Amino acid sequence: DTGVSQNPRHKITKRGQNVTFRCDPISEHNRLYWYRQTLGQGPEFLTYFQNEAQLEKSRLLSDRFSAERPKGSFSTLEIQRTEQGDSAMYLCASSGLSGSHNEQFFGPGTRLTVL
Amino acid sequence: AQSVTQLDSQVPVFEEAPVELRCNYSSSVSVYLFWYVQYPNQGLQLLLKYLSGSTLVKGINGFEAEFNKSQTSFHLRKPSVHISDTAEYFCAVSPSGSARQLTFGSGTQLTVLP
């Protein structure tokens, strides 16, 4: 499968714990995006990378959220000291420089439940 | 900044009937427009997009959408729906000209009834 993959698919954690999610983009894509989707809403943009550079992070929800893409390939999203309000689906998407402008390909998401 | 309004949160329709899902947007700059579909427990799949040129855009699975700049709308249509079209549909915009984040509407749940 050459699509965007995300791991884990589901994560249940207790309030106050730290969690980390991984996203593997389509291999030739240099842009990678993170979104959060809560129940009944559309995805909400969090941050994006071009190669290893994080070009937009002002939309990260708080300083408990951080993302990395150290080698310009896979990315991780970490949430520290989780709160019940962090329960949501976290989506990753990737896109390439050439071809279809701004067409973002989405992964299946990681569903986080904070107890 | 951009915003997207999907006017109907739920649209029930009988199989083989036509359907229109409405989307209006607001932006101070020119935009690209997208429709995505999300099946239960799956990621979003691109249905169609408007970048420039013809305002009538055809996508996958028999869907089409028309960009109306004066009304800032990008409504999605299908002349005859199938049970398998039951899903959540999201309209999205991004500033044109470079890769930017998508701004999504809140979604429309399309339910096709037998």
Chain B nearest C-alpha distance from A11 (Å): 14
HEC secondary structure over chain B: CEEEECCCCEEEEECCCCEEECCEEEECCCEEEEEEEECCCCCEEEEEEECCCCCEEECHHHCEEEEECCCCEEEEEECCCCHHHCEEEEEEEEECCCCCCCEECCCEEEEEEC
Least confident of A64-68, A106-110, B40-44, B94-98: B94-98
Cβ within 8 Å, pair B100-A102: yes
pLDDT at position A1 is 54
pLDDT at position A98 is 58
**Pairing state between β B2-5 and B44-50:** unpaired
pLDDT at position B101 is 84
The model's pLDDT over A8-29, given as tens digits with 9 standing for 90+, comes to 999 999 999 999 999 999 988 8
pLDDT at position A101 is 59
pLDDT at position B42 is 83
In a 3-state reduction of DSSP, which class is residue A101?
A: coil
- Quote the CA–CA distance of B61 and B46 in Å, as a whole number: 11
* Mean pLDDT to the nearest integer, A93-102: 71
Residue numbers in chain B where pLDDT is lower than 50: none
| Two tokens, residue A14 | 């207790």
pLDDT at position A18 is 97
Mutate to test the interface with A, among B44, B48, B50 (most CBs of A within 10 A): B44
pLDDT at position A83 is 96
Question: What residues have CB less than 8 Å from A97, skipping those under 6 apart?
Answer: A30, A31, B99
Question: What residues have CB less than 8 Å from B69, skipping those under 6 apart?
Answer: B55
- Numbered residues of chain A with Cβ closer than 8 Å to any chain B Cβ: 4, 31, 33, 35, 40-45, 48, 50, 56, 59, 91, 93, 95, 97, 100-109
- Quote the CA–CA distance of B9 and B108 in Å, as a whole number: 4
- Quote the CA–CA distance of A70 and A23 in Å, as a whole number: 12
Q: Facing residues of A110 across strands? A: A90
pLDDT at position B11 is 97
> What are the backbone angles phi and psi of residue B78, rounded to the nearest 5°?
-145, 130
Q: To the nearest whole number, what is the mean pLDDT of chain A?
A: 90
- Quote the CA–CA distance of A79 and A36 in Å, as a whole number: 12
pLDDT at position B41 is 78
Cβ within 8 Å, pair B102-A104: yes
pLDDT at position B75 is 97
Cβ within 8 Å, pair B99-A31: yes
Chain B nearest C-alpha distance from A83 (Å): 23
pLDDT at position B2 is 87
* Mean pLDDT to the nearest integer, A66-88: 94
Query: Residue A100: is its pLDDT beyond 70?
Result: no
The model's pLDDT over A31-52, given as tens digits with 9 standing for 90+, comes to 999 999 998 899 999 999 988 8
Question: What residues have CB less than 8 Å from B98, skipping those under 6 apart?
Answer: none
